[in-house]
Structure 1
Amino acid sequence: MAKAELKTKQKTVIEDKSSLKGTLASVFFVGAFIIVTWVGVYYLFLERF
Structure 2
Amino acid sequence: MAKFKYTEEFEINTSAKAIYPYLVNPNNLAEWFADEVSNDLNKRFVFRWNN
User: Normalised by the size of structure 1, how large is the TM-score?
Assistant: 0.22
Structure ranking higher on relative contact order (CA contacts 8 Å, 6+ apart): 2
Larger Rg: 1
Query: More helix by proportion, 1 or 2?
Result: 1
- Relative to total residues, which structure has the larger strand share, 1 or 2? 2
